[in-house]
Amino acid sequence: MSTANELTANWLGALTVGLGDLLDHSLRKESGLDPAAVAAVLTVRARPGQSVSDLAGALALTHSGCVRVVGRLVDSGLLVRGPGPDGRTRGLRLTEAGEDAGRRMLRARRQALEGVVGRLSSEEAGSLERALRALLPHLPGDRASARRICRLCEHDVCRGDDCVVSVAADD
């Protein structure tokens, strides 16, 4: 017989996998891109001008792996390389087509997640929000970890003090 915490942890793991699969399917269907490319588009959308090295860190990719993802996105017309913020590095920005793709991906993400949360009563949704507000700050260790956690987030909805992940991250 398992304890309540063991059962809750197991269910949380199942929910995590299920939501990950749901998002992967929804974002692939909307964009036609692989998960690394989806994450790259959404990460550059949130932080335009970042370098390939910064993007690689946010996506947990090797530098060479990230260069390949960026190359595919440049070739597909979603991303451009330009001057970076420090003048020494190249910065990444979305093209108009990339911005449009990013908006569509975020809309698909929101719809998929709202389809799950929408099945909850108001009371259950409030309990979930309180639980997430309590759990999420325990995930990031540093700013790079927070960026990885939030790489698919809708940053227009959750920014600054509203982002419990970012607030909890060590600088």
What pLDDT is recorded for position 1?
A: 63
Output DSSP code: residue 78: S
Whether pTM > 0.95 for this model: the answer is no
Dist. CA 103–CA 110, nearest whole Å? 10
Q: Retrieve residue 67's tokens.
A: 């260069």
What is the pLDDT averaged over residues 162-167?
A: 85
C-alpha 159/C-alpha 47 separation (Å) is 12
Dump pLDDT digits (tens) for 89-133.
889 999 999 999 999 999 999 999 999 999 999 999 999 999 999
How many beta carbons lie within 10 A of that of residue 133, not counting itself?
A: 10
Each residue's pLDDT tens digit, 37-82: 999 999 999 999 999 999 999 999 999 999 999 999 999 999 999 9
The pLDDT, as a whole number, for residue 171 is 58
* Residues 31-168, CATH architecture: Orthogonal Bundle (1.10)
Long-range contacts of 130-138 (CB under 8 A, 24+ apart): 132/164, 133/164, 136/164, 136/165, 136/168, 137/164, 137/165, 137/167, 137/168, 138/168
Q: Which residues contact 72 (CB under 8 A, 6 or more apart)?
A: 37
The domain segmentation of the chain, as residue ranges, is 31-168
